[in-house]
Structure 1
Amino acid sequence: MKDIEIDSNEKSEYECFSCGKIVFAENRPSQCPDCAGKMRNRQVSVE
């Protein structure tokens, strides 16, 4: 497995665990703008 380099100035794709909304942001959103659910970075695998 190879580590990816993450550019901190680049916008990342975040997805809401509850409703599935996708948001592009430089910093992790604290909650979904639609339903206030938890957000996850889509570049990081969920296990």
Structure 2
Amino acid sequence: MRDVEQDHGEKTPYECFACGKVITAVSQPENCQDCGGEMRNRLTPLE
């Protein structure tokens, strides 16, 4: 698997671990706007 190169300033999809809400943002949000759960970058594979 290759690393994904991202341009700074490019919007990236983030998903909430708790509720599954997906948003796009330039930088990773601290917590989900809906439930307060932890957000993950969807372009980074889970291990």
| Pairwise same-fold verdict (TM > 0.5) | yes
* Matched pairs, number: 47
TM-score normalised by L of structure 2: 0.92
Of all paired residues, the percent bearing the same amino acid is: 51
Q: Answer yes or no: is 1:37 the counterpart of 2:37.
A: yes
| Runs of 4+ residues deviating >4 angstroms | none
TM-score normalised by L of structure 1: 0.92
User: Aligned-residue CA RMSD in angstroms?
Assistant: 0.8
**Structure 1: where are the runs of 5+ without partners?**
none
**Structure 2: where are the runs of 5+ without partners?**
none
